[in-house]
Amino acid sequence: MNKIMVEGINKNMDEIIERWITRMKEEKGERFFHFMPDHLVEKTSREFAVLMTSNINESSAANTERISDFTEKVVRFGWAIKFVNKAIDNFSDVVYEFLEEKEIINESNLRTFNLIFRNWINPLRESIIDAYSTEWERTVSLQKIALQELSASLIPVFEKISVMPLVGTIDTERAKLIMENLLEGVVSQRAEVVLLDITGVPVVDTMVAHHIIQAAEAVRLVGAKCMLVGIRPEIAQTIVALGIDLHEFTTKSTLQRGMQAALGMTNRAIVEVEAN
Amino acid sequence: MNFRSSVEIITEWDIVAARQLGRNEAKKAGFGTVDQARITTAISELARNIYLYAGKGKIEIERVSEGGAFGIKIIASDEGPGIPDLRKVMEDGFSTSGGLGAGMPGVKRLMDEFKVSSEPGVGTIITTKKWLH
């Protein structure tokens, strides 16, 4: 029975794919089939069709690899999982209708075919959705790693003066990382003054302020001074409204002013020299 | 007009989502950068309180108009343990989590109107508004 079905499908693959594409184009909210170049739609659809039919007659191991290849592709195309699911539904419908038209499915073998379809589509759907979510999880965890790499490095600028530019949202995890990098850097770079630049921090709420205060206190304990720079006017106002006490800190509006102050604190200054 | 959008607070990153939504709504309502920062920070505090004390809850943001004045309303609600002593949490420097204790009184100062109702064991609802001047 399987054999007849596979033959029926393979012989009429082109028409099945064509019908499937027509149906997918009718789906709302997905632009893939409308905006992608035709050859790409054709190629992806054919791959999808091959994928869909492969597990009827192939070993499951070969299939797993093919499924993960394919899902990687659709994730990159930005197909929503709902859409992938719909694609599977439509494909199974098209094939069923087609086999009915060709009278491969008739009243006498309807039950058998129903069973074959169920055994065919369900495991396939499960593994495709599984591979899809794995692919997403991988993407998310990669981005998380990339985000961590962006975090907080302490840059030695002058002798005894280091700068740490903070960029982006500070959550608990990053705050920990900032603290570690800051203390390690202060010790290894023998910094006496550290400038924390918060120009790139979008929101300074009490938690962020709390972490900054703790970091400054820790820096003080290892024998250096901490200065807060890059305080934008709107951030200054919210800090005042929140009632956060930054009296212990030297604060400056820009990194430039902070640097001048830091040089002053280490008894140095930048002077202009006359050109010869 | 009174379109309400909301963010569920379950993970720490939802706090970022909530304040992003708040910033966008504040911008659309016509607030300047300083007020945008105030509203965003207030949302950040409220969302963090939900995350820290209740575990999960919801931040709703709505544009409102009252007698010719336009503004933005933020509702933070959770079904957490509630606040046993409302007077205490509004004091500067009071914290049960080792934080700065500036969150709740800070939000009140950042916004124009502030109302909190809480019942131990049932949950907390905080409603706060900021008007366009």
Pairing of strands A155-158, A161-167: antiparallel
The answer on A117 and A242 residing in a single domain is no
Distance from C-alpha of A136 to C-alpha of A71, rounded to nearest angstrom: 10
Complex-level ipTM beyond the 0.85 threshold: no
Banded model confidence at residue A215, pLDDT cuts 50, 70, 90 = very high
The answer on A124 and A31 residing in a single domain is yes
Q: Which helix (H) or strand (E) holds A88?
A: helix A81-101
**Best residue in A205, A231, A237, A247 for a mutation probing chain B (most B CBs within 10 Å):** A205
| Residues of chain B found within 8 Å of residue A209, distances taken between Cβ atoms | 100, 102
A10 belongs to a structural domain: yes
Pairing of strands A250-252, B113-119: unpaired
Q: What is the pLDDT of residue B1?
A: 47
Q: How far apart are the first and last CA of chain B?
A: 19
The answer on A125 and A181 residing in a single domain is no
Q: Pull the structure tokens for residue A81.
A: 């999982």
Query: ∠A174-A176-A180 over CA atoms, to 5°?
Result: 115
**Residue that terminates a domain, selected from A144, A170, A195:** A144
Average pLDDT of the segment spanning A119-127 = 80
Banded model confidence at residue A254, pLDDT cuts 50, 70, 90 = very high
Banded model confidence at residue A57, pLDDT cuts 50, 70, 90 = low
Contact: B37, A243; criterion CB under 8 Å? no
The answer on A101 and A233 residing in a single domain is no
Residues 6+ apart with CB under 8 A from B59: B6, B7, B9, B18, B21, B22, B43, B46, B47, B50, B74, B75, B76
- What CATH number does the domain containing A187 carry? 3.30.750.24
Residue % of chain A over a pLDDT of 90 = 35
Residues 6+ apart with CB under 8 A from A122: none
- What CATH number does the domain containing A101 carry? 1.10.490.10
For residue B107, give how far its alpha carbon lies from the nearest alpha carbon of chain A (Å): 7
For residue A247, give how far its alpha carbon lies from the nearest alpha carbon of chain B (Å): 14
A274 belongs to a structural domain: no
Chain B residues contacting A via beta carbons under 8 Å: 12-13, 16, 19, 33-34, 36-38, 40-41, 44-45, 48, 92, 99-100, 102-103, 105-106, 109-110
A276 belongs to a structural domain: no
Contacts 24+ apart (CB under 8 A), A48-53: A48/A87, A48/A91, A49/A13, A49/A16, A49/A17, A49/A20, A49/A91, A52/A88, A52/A91, A52/A92, A52/A124, A53/A6, A53/A9, A53/A10, A53/A13
The answer on A39 and A129 residing in a single domain is yes
Spans in chain B with pLDDT lower than 50: 1
| A238 touching chain B per CB within 8 A | yes
Q: Which CATH architecture has domain B4-131?
A: 2-Layer Sandwich (3.30)
Distance from C-alpha of A125 to C-alpha of A91, rounded to nearest angstrom: 11
Distance from C-alpha of B86 to C-alpha of B109, rounded to nearest angstrom: 16
Whether the Cβ atoms of residue A191 and residue A162 lie closer than 8 Å to each other: yes
Distance from C-alpha of B48 to C-alpha of B93, rounded to nearest angstrom: 17
Provide the residue ranges of all domains of chain B, joining segments of one domain with +.
Answer: 4-131
Residue A121 has pLDDT above 90, yes or no: no
Q: What is the pLDDT of residue A56?
A: 67
Residue ranges making up the domain that contains A215? 155-265
Q: What is the pLDDT of residue A147?
A: 79
**b/e map A234-272, b = 16+ CB within 10 Å:** bbbbbbebbbbebeeebbbeebeebbebbbeeeeeeeee
**b/e map A201-214, b = 16+ CB within 10 Å:** bbbbbbbbbbbbbe
Q: What is the pLDDT of residue B31?
A: 95
Q: What is the pLDDT of residue A109?
A: 81
Q: What amino acid is encoded at A169 in this protein?
A: T
Q: What is the pLDDT of residue A204?
A: 92
The answer on A259 and A135 residing in a single domain is no
The answer on A63 and A6 residing in a single domain is yes
Q: What is the pLDDT of residue A30?
A: 62
Report the domain count for chain A.
Answer: 2
The answer on A123 and A103 residing in a single domain is yes
**Residue that terminates a domain, selected from A89, A121, A144:** A144
A149 belongs to a structural domain: no
The answer on A229 and A166 residing in a single domain is yes
pLDDT one-digit tens code per residue, A150-166: 777 899 999 999 999 99
The answer on A181 and A91 residing in a single domain is no
The answer on A159 and A140 residing in a single domain is no
Backbone angles phi, psi at B98, to 5 degrees: 75, 15
Going by the DSSP 8-state scheme, the letter that residue B1 receives in this structure is -
- Nearest chain A residue (CA) to B43: A205
Q: Which helix (H) or strand (E) holds B117?
A: strand B113-119
pLDDT one-digit tens code per residue, A148-207: 777 778 999 999 999 999 988 888 888 888 999 999 999 999 999 999 999 999 999 999
Let me know how many helices (H) and strands (E) chain A has, helices first: 11, 5
